[in-house]
Amino acid sequence: MRAQLQDAAAAFADGPGTLDGILHGLVDDVDRALREPLEIFPVCHHSPASATAMARRLRAKQPRTVFLELCEDMAPLLTELRNCRLPVAVQAFATRIDGFPADWAPLSVVAPITEASAEYQAIAYALETPGVELVLVDRSSDHVFQWQPHEDTAPGDAPAEEEAALHGDAVGVELGDLRPRFAELEQHLLRHGKVRHWSEWWHQYVELPLGDADHDTYRQVMFLIGSLFRRLAPGELGRVRVDEDRERYMWTRIREHLAATGADPADCVFVCGAFHAASRVEEFGVDGSPTAFAISPRTATEWQYGLIPSSHTAIEAQFGLERGSVSIAASQWEKNLRRTRVQPYRLKGQAGAKASRARRSGAPAPVAQTDTADRLSGFLRRPPVLDRLDQEELLGWSVEVVRAARRNGYLASTADAIAVYETSVLLAGLRDRAKPTPYDFLDAAVTCLEKDRTPGRRDVRRVVEIMMGGDRIGQVGYESLPPLARDVHDRLAPLGLDLQARGVKRALLDIKSDPRLRACSDVLWMLRHLLPHGAARAIMGERKLGEQSVQESWDLALGTHQRALIELGYEGVSLEQVLEQRLRREAHAAHANTAVVLRTVEDATLYLGSRRLSDELGTRALEVLSTERSVDGAPEVLQRVRKLLAYYRTTEPVLPEWIERFAKAGYAHYCTLLPTAFTDETATVRQVAAMLGFLFSMESLALSLGSDRTQLELAIAQSHPQEPAKTALLWGAQVQTGRLTRQELRERCDELLGNPLLLPAYPHYLSGLLHALEPVPGLVDVVVEAVSNAFARLPDPVLLPWLPTLIATLRTSGPDLAPLLTREAGRIFPGWLGALDAWVPPWHAQAAAPARPSATGRGSVLVAAYPETCDALAAVLGCEGTWTVAGTVPAGSLLVGRYPETAHALAVVLGVE
């Protein structure tokens, strides 16, 4: 091989040079790896050829120690694989980080494991064979983040598909990451290989030929590929340094273990990626440089470990593989086992797998002696052989895809099956392939079966993927779940549902007839708060402050969202503990404002019922309020304070101390900010209205606690808004404080309508009056009158552009403002269409009505009819006098003369003519 490469270099490069050095370096790398006393077994990530060769080699050599390229801190979890259904991922998770930037949290590292992978064969062999030791030698999860640049480890966007999001935003750790890092090289291989993507190239030119290769040939080919990709990789300083540090790390750990145990390197095997097997670092090999590689200490980050479900789609999405490639690899693995009759290793008792009967005997099987004979030349020259089994398989695929297409609504026939078969063979021939691959068949099926439109939700590509095995999704068994997840399943046991299974389960809770379900309801509401949307979805029933449902209906998908439930177990041992920690963390976050902290108070009351935690978070809300200098969260603050205050007044004998202090401090705080907010262009009308709503609704409580109403009066007097909407809002506040009468407010609105220059701005004044209903709901009759006058008198060029603003205002504050306006309009306007023509607005009727009688007119009738009531009102209002002789005007008539409007209103209510 060395001589052939030297001749090739001379032919292509016209003599020795860079190419000659690269080609000779490839041979040197292969030779160096083959001469290593500790057998290096190069693999590729999730490669069935690697898995087949691994199983064959383990049964032949029966090593006593297996060194595996996997994070060394994940070793205790590997025994838990017995309780899982593959594929699953070993995960290291950290929420409390120390030594890394805060914006990295949470940290997550996953190592997915499938049955068609060499690492699983090594793990199963070591765990199922007595006397065999499994040693993980790769860097720890902590070092994964220590050695990664910030931009590479910052959380990214999770995949859009549900199955692709099983790993979340975790950093993936691959055993045998074997892909060209030189973009031009990859494009060259794809173009000359007549394939579309890297997964197809690997399947065609490496996977299939190596499926039947002997051990020595397999090792030499994998060493050669790893050396080629390594030597042609771009010289990125950070990436190269990380790769070399990983290799130094692994060989340092291997030498430390050999020195500590005295194991013979000839009785060991080192399973690592082919990229790292062709290493050129000085520490390479058991006889490498004696200078010990300095391994940096781990940070103080608290790491949690567990198993999470994985899937073929999740692996493909995380590691940039082509969709369907892992499923094709799984089917190729089954095919390799049938063809080679290799007995794979499987963990005893694992779901979906049979236990391996292999046990270590007293005398190990003879070990094939590894030599450095040239096996590459013959292998690379050997033409591919068309196996009859592949033709039969292709025929079966063609029939099955037509059957599957019919089930999905396609108008497919037997002729289409023949077309798919022939097109697959034709495409393989056009691409210089001796036999069609699954990718050729996929293209043929799409070409022959895809119509103008997809009749259902699945296109032909998806139908083919499902037919070839589909996306296999793993599951973590109950025994391997963290304590929190097991506790959730135990507490939800009264529901009688299989919550481990994937899919949506409907749970019906009749709490009134079965009080035990109240505890299940509490768990479900906490899960709804903690887990992603869809894991626990309430169909019927709600939980509000002071309210609890007697019947509930839930859609549960805990099996589908098993990863999220498992990650909750990394944060605590119970749901209550995790929820309390999250609420505290949310309340003490740097970006938390008063509204956010009040939301945590409400959640603590709703889901935990903890008065201690609520008081603690309420005190935190008071601290945050005192530091705020903006009014951005005023609407939400008002809404939540009102709800909490109403809840405490109906359930507690006395108000909590924190909410009393909050009302008093908030009153002074918003009084101080009010003048600035009226003139601040960034403060919206809704935010200023919420401030006024807080001041007016909390006024009585604040004044009872020692606040001074003069603060509010001075704040309103010092407010001088420039915007029309805020000006109208200020008018509403002045009416509430008595600085402006309702009649004066009506007159100002009439003046605006009568001024042609102000007509375009009139809708903005109306918007301010609408928002004024939040702090002053008693103005609803004036607002209805103003809106009615606007519709009656504004010209269309002004009225029509304003309608979207009106709708947007009502939509924003609809739950609060719409009922007030609707109720008042229903009281004023006629209830049937026939009365509309003769209807006169009340404000027009009042303007056209004659002056009301004085003390001797209509009001005096009221005085005479109800003397006791009149005397009581006179005493309250400060009118002195007594009743005189009958027939004369009573002294109580002073009340009528002083307050004619009140007397008139009472007369109307009491029906006095």
Tokens in use for 275? 């990229």
Task: Report helix, strand or coil for 855.
Answer: coil
% of the chain beyond a pLDDT of 70: 79
Cis ω for the linkage preceding 87 (within 30 of 0): yes
What is the reported pLDDT for 332?
Answer: 82
Is it the case that residue 889 has pLDDT exceeding 60? Answer: no
Per-residue CA distances from 813 to 449, 712, 806, 821 (Å):
53, 24, 11, 12
pLDDT in tens, 658-705: 999 999 999 899 899 999 999 888 888 888 998 898 999 888 888 888
Whether residue 137 contacts residue 68, with contact meaning beta carbons closer than 8 Å, is answered with: yes
Tokens in use for 47? 């490669």
pLDDT in tens, 799-846: 788 788 777 767 766 566 777 777 877 787 777 777 777 777 777 666
Q: Where are the alpha helices (DSSP H) in 652-779?
A: 657-679, 685-697, 699-704, 710-717, 724-737, 742-754, 762-772
What is the reported pLDDT for 160?
Answer: 44
Whether residue 726 contacts residue 685, with contact meaning beta carbons closer than 8 Å, is answered with: yes
Average pLDDT, the chain: 79
Place 597 in a pLDDT band, splitting at 50, 70 and 90.
very high
């145990």: which residue's tokens? Answer: 261
As a whole number of angstroms, the distance between CA 721 and CA 159 comes to 49
Is it the case that residue 62 has pLDDT exceeding 50? Answer: yes
């190419």: which residue's tokens? Answer: 19
Cα angle at 758 between 755 and 759, to 5 degrees?
85
As a whole number of angstroms, the distance between CA 631 and CA 695 comes to 13
Is it the case that residue 340 has pLDDT exceeding 80? Answer: yes
What is the reported pLDDT for 527?
Answer: 92
pLDDT in tens, 31-41: 788 888 888 89
Mean pLDDT to the nearest integer, 362-372: 43
What is the reported pLDDT for 21?
Answer: 57
Is it the case that residue 142 has pLDDT exceeding 60? Answer: yes
pLDDT in tens, 272-291: 888 887 777 888 888 777 66
Task: Report helix, strand or coil for 453.
Answer: coil
How many other C-beta atoms lie within 10 A of the C-beta of residue 324? 24
% of the chain beyond a pLDDT of 90: 6
pTM: predicted TM-score of the whole model, two decimal places:
0.70
Place 296 in a pLDDT band, splitting at 50, 70 and 90.
confident
Is it the case that residue 8 has pLDDT exceeding 60? Answer: no
Cα angle at 756 between 751 and 761, to 5 degrees?
75
Cα angle at 284 between 173 and 218, to 5 degrees?
70
Task: Report helix, strand or coil for 858.
Answer: helix
Which range among 168-182, 261-275, 559-573 shows the weakest confidence by mean pLDDT?
168-182
87, 40, 371: which is closest to 226 by C-alpha?
A: 40
Q: Which residues contact 647 (CB under 8 A, 6 or more apart)?
A: 545, 546, 605
What is the reported pLDDT for 173?
Answer: 56
Task: Choose between 215 and 890: higher pLDDT.
Answer: 215
CB contact burial 435-464 (16+ within 10 A = b; e otherwise): bbbbbbbbbbbbebbeeeeeeeebbbebbb
Whether residue 115 contacts residue 474, with contact meaning beta carbons closer than 8 Å, is answered with: no
What is the reported pLDDT for 583?
Answer: 92
What is the reported pLDDT for 139?
Answer: 87
pLDDT in tens, 204-231: 777 877 877 888 888 888 888 888 777 7
Tokens in use for 215? 């051990």
Give, for 110, the enclosing helix (H) or strand (E): strand 107-113
Place 598 in a pLDDT band, splitting at 50, 70 and 90.
very high
Q: Edge-to-edge, what's the strand order for the sheet holding 505-510?
A: 505-510, 551-556, 536-540
